Structure 1
């Protein structure tokens, strides 16, 4: 199992997705196109692709000129029935790849927030075993419409479209289910100044929030990660 991992920003990581891939014995091919790494032109050399998050928006082709090629690659993976996972920015890019509109701003969430599954999610192979409602880590300002062919799987008041599936195994997630407590603590340190500008109370409440929401969020995130890896 060879999995292409597209990292779009410094200090982002696979978190629980990485743990699930390691359990499955996956070989990872990490590319950082924002630093100049080339992307494959086709999906032929990989069994699946993970597209991670980032601080930029999904329409920022001027500063991230590889975005159009990444959209083409996403469509090639889907056309060859190979699993795709987009998280946060990655999910927004998956939505864009299939013709949906991205909305910049107006959907701000940060910290552990609740999401609710749709009726359709009950039969979904990745989300079907999860509770109807659960807390999960969020960090985004933007949102997106659903592609026409997508099945909506989760939402909340801040962002109606929190998770969707296209075809058999192309998934887009707005929420950071990969971010378990160690990764959130790492982000809280690595991006401390950025977080403090917009959420000045975060450092003081991190431990309490982590204790309250972390166990359930981590359990949900790892279940999602393992179920997606099982689609490969």
Structure 2
């Protein structure tokens, strides 16, 4: 299988998604439009994965590729290619299908609980998960659900944590790809940002990783494998 991956920031970890793609023997086309504006074309790819970034989903002045990427995600979905948007990627996906981006209103950081909706029980990716689980979050923005989206998950702070469109298009606000190694690297690379999101994070991180990270890693890999199975 051929999978296009879009990175939206200079330090991007594929984490559990990368593990699942490697297990499946996927061939990767890597795009970094924040640096050169290039985006994948529909021809030649079986799936599209869009990761997170520090920008907002509608910061078109600084990142003019964003509206094009939103429509490209919609085009992949319309062509029955599997599509996955994580964090910023989910916000761009929602935008591409007519959802409204809401900026700065919903900060979440760390391993936070997400609860699945009743509709998730029949979802091919999330259906086998427990009804609630801890998973890593790092965001301040959210979105309204596009028309026709199946609402799959929520948290106490954010109503729209996961959704599906059509057969095989998913958006997750939460960073299920962020395993403990990824979170540890973020903590080292971005100490000022992580402390700003959660004061005392550096000191608390090791204990939280031990208490919550092991199960979050398992959940994240199960989601990643479930998505890859839909490609």
TM-score band w.r.t. shorter chain: over 0.9
Equivalent residue for 1:125? 124
Could you say what the CA RMSD is over the residues aligned between the two structures, in angstroms? 0.9
* TM-score using structure 2 length: 0.98
Q: Secondary structure at the match of 1:158?
A: coil
- Does 1:3 pair with 2:29? no
Q: Secondary structure at the match of 1:208?
A: helix
Structure 1: state its 5+ residue gaps: none
Q: Secondary structure at the match of 1:149?
A: coil
- Equivalent positions of 1:49-88 (< 5 A) are 49-88=48-87
CA deviation after TM superposition for structure 1 residue 228, in Å: 0.2
- Does 1:138 pair with 2:132? no
CA deviation after TM superposition for structure 1 residue 122, in Å: 0.4
Distance 1:224 1:197 in 2: 29
**Following superposition, which runs of at least 4 residues in structure 1 exceed 2 angstroms of deviation?**
196-200
Q: Secondary structure at the match of 2:146?
A: coil
Distance 1:197 1:93 in 2: 25
CA deviation after TM superposition for structure 1 residue 29, in Å: 0.5
Equivalent residue for 1:200? 199
Equivalent residue for 1:223? 222
Deviations for 1:62-81, whole angstroms, at most 9, x for unmatched residues? 10000111112111101100
Contact 1:11/1:190, CA 8 A, preserved across alignment: no
Deviations for 1:8-56, whole angstroms, at most 9, x for unmatched residues? 012111100000000000001110000115113x312100000000111
* TM-score using structure 1 length: 0.98
Structure 2: state its 5+ residue gaps: none
Equivalent residue for 1:39? 39
Contact 1:115/1:156, CA 8 A, preserved across alignment: yes
Equivalent residue for 1:18? 18
Aligned residue pairs total 231
Q: Secondary structure at the match of 2:199?
A: coil
Equivalent residue for 1:211? 210
